[in-house]
């Protein structure tokens, strides 16, 4: 049987998971109710430190906060990374409340509204423009406000990221401008009273193949240098996206950073030779936070049907769509799930973990091996620090929202 990568990121004492130094049962008491999401500071800090140690010093790390926009998490990460990438006016407001200076915040998204653009110009954040129409809107907002907007151009590259869980570049895309449309946009930009800062190329998400990522990074730098010839000024920043994946499913293996580090050093050298002032940014969401978080729900009832065990819990897909297999997965696979207050347990069994919703989609674990559990036990879904709560249909069936804590 193909197994999940072992979940070793948290301490374990007396067969019970611990987060932030608290045994899970105590943490549940502290939160005061289930279900809840918990994210561990220590793990986030270790993750950032690990990346910094592995990657060349010239690479700047940005946090793409749509992965986990909890204000306390964003604030904590703001003190650890070099910038924050936002994808809406709401995220922008959260990012601006942190210690991150506005000039280190960038704003991407194919459908930015005039109100959002106006706030972004006024705030002085970098706007990654994704079309000629969007550029004209930024120019109008700038004129209205009497503030020169800062812009970078998001390019839909003429190549795509191999082996990505989700592709966001190459071929027809709503994101950015096709590479061949970029010179015309840069020519228009030259006539505007806007500050040109650079280029943004994002190729895709959830990739566990270092060589595919390194290849895309090389192609991104090459494309950027080609387009830079048409730019109205020097490239101050080049954001080459991220896409670093984490192991979710049986057979997945953690990303190997070593080949990425070698590749990035080559890209830095190449940039240095042609465009020495350019700051190279990586924007990572999932990789920074996914493994730091768990989703915890309580077993309400244990029942049997045709010989199979079902653990009915107070949590489910309305809080954690991704773990139910309905957030972008083609074939449903189990996230790593365990009984958090008895990880190994005395007796083990195959069980399915379901939620309270009246739909067969509300499945957090399908026939997984775990410790034998009963009413009151705490089910833990690992790898839940990214695309959890805010990527879930919380209003579906009108259950209360889960709590969220940073410990
Ligand atoms: C979503 C997104 C990210 C973050 O992707 P992860 O897979 O979470 O690292 C980065 N950049 C852009 C432009 C995005 O839309």
Assess if residue 101 is contained within a domain: no
Assess if residue 60 is contained within a domain: no
Residue 392, pLDDT score: 98
Residue 295, beta-bridge partner list: 37, 381
124 and 190: one domain? yes
132 and 274: one domain? yes
191 and 314: one domain? no
Instruction: Name residues of the chain where pLDDT drops below 50.
Output: none
198 Cα: distance to centroid of ligand 1 (angstroms): 18
* Ligand 1 pocket residue status of 64, Cβ below 6 Å: yes
207 and 269: one domain? yes
182 and 221: one domain? yes
Burial of 288 (C-beta count, 10 Å sphere; 0-12/13-18/19+): buried
372 and 272: one domain? no
21 Cα: distance to centroid of ligand 1 (angstroms): 30
Return the CATH number at 194: 3.20.20.10
- Give the total number of structural domains in the chain: 2
**Which residue owns the Cα nearest ligand 1 atom 7?**
205
| Single residue among 284, 306, 324 that ends a domain in this structure | 284
For residue range 52-97, what is the model confidence (pLDDT) as tens digits?
Answer: 999 999 999 999 999 999 999 999 999 999 999 999 999 999 999 9
383 Cα: distance to centroid of ligand 1 (angstroms): 17
Using most ligand atoms within 8 A of CB, pick from 48, 67, 73 the residue to mutate for ligand 1: 67
- Determine the structural domain holding residue 269 and report its residue range: 108-284
Distance, in Å, from the CA atom of 106 to the CA atom of 61, rounded to the nearest integer, reads 12
* Ligand 1 pocket residue status of 109, Cβ below 6 Å: no
275 and 331: one domain? no
Assess if residue 152 is contained within a domain: yes
Which atom from ligand 1 is nearest to the alpha carbon of 286?
Answer: 8
Residue 390, CA atoms < 13 Å, CB-side half-sphere? 13
309 Cα: distance to centroid of ligand 1 (angstroms): 38
133 Cα: distance to centroid of ligand 1 (angstroms): 23
252 and 315: one domain? no
For residue range 172-197, what is the model confidence (pLDDT) as tens digits?
Answer: 999 999 999 999 999 999 999 999 99
227 and 305: one domain? no
Assess if residue 328 is contained within a domain: yes
125 and 174: one domain? yes
Residue 162, pLDDT score: 79
Assess if residue 187 is contained within a domain: yes
272 and 313: one domain? no
Assess if residue 96 is contained within a domain: no
Residue 161, pLDDT score: 79
* Ligand 1 pocket residue status of 284, Cβ below 6 Å: yes
Is the overall model pTM greater than 0.85, yes or no? yes
Residue 147, pLDDT score: 98
**Which residue owns the Cα nearest ligand 1 atom 14?**
64
| Single residue among 228, 262, 284 that ends a domain in this structure | 284
Assess if residue 140 is contained within a domain: yes
| Single residue among 284, 301, 331 that ends a domain in this structure | 284
Using most ligand atoms within 8 A of CB, pick from 205, 384, 386 the residue to mutate for ligand 1: 205
28 and 124: one domain? no
């Amino acid at each position: 049987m193909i197994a999940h990568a072992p979940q070793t990121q948290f301490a374990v004492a007396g067969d019970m998971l611990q987060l932030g130094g608290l045994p899970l049962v105590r943490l549940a008491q502290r939160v005061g109710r289930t279900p809840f999401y918990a994210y561990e500071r220590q793990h986030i800090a270790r993750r950032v430190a690990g990346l910094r140690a592995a990657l060349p010093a010239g690479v700047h790390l940005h946090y793409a906060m749509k992965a986990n926009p909890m204000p306390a998490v964003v604030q904590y990460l703001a003190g650890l990374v070099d910038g924050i990438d936002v994808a809406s006016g709401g995220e922008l407001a959260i990012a601006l409340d942190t210690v991150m200076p506005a000039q280190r915040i960038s704003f991407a998204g194919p459908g930015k509204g005039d109100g959002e653009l106006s706030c972004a110009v006024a705030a002085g954040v970098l706007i990654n423009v994704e079309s000629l129409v969007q550029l004209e809107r930024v120019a109008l907002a700038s004129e209205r406000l009497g503030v020169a907007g800062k812009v970078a151009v998001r390019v839909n590259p003429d190549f795509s990221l191999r082996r990505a869980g989700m592709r966001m570049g190459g071929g027809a895309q709503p994101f950015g401008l096709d590479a061949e449309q970029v010179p015309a946009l840069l020519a228009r930009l030259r006539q505007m009273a806007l500050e040109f800062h650079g280029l943004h190329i994002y190729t895709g998400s959830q990739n566990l193949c270092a060589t595919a990522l390194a290849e895309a990074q090389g192609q991104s730098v090459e494309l950027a240098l080609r387009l830079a010839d048409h730019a109205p000024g020097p490239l101050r920043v080049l954001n080459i996206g991220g896409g670093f994946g984490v192991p979710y499913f049986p057979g997945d293996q953690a990303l190997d950073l070593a080949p990425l580090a070698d590749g990035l050093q080559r890209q830095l050298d190449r940039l240095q030779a042609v465009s020495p002032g350019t700051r190279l940014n990586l924007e990572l969401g999932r990789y920074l936070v996914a493994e730091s978080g768990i989703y915890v729900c309580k077993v309400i009832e244990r029942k049997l049907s045709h010989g199979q065990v079902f653990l009915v819990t107070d949590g489910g897909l309305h809080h954690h769509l991704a773990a139910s297999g309905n957030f972008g997965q083609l074939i449903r696979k189990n996230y790593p799930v365990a009984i958090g207050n008895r990880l190994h347990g005395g007796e083990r069994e195959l069980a399915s973990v379901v939620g309270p919703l009246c739909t067969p989609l509300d499945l957090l674990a399908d026939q997984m091996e775990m410790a034998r559990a009963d009413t009151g036990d705490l089910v833990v879904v690992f790898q839940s620090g990214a695309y959890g709560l805010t990527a879930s249909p919380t209003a579906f069936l009108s259950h209360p929202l889960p709590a969220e804590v940073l410990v």
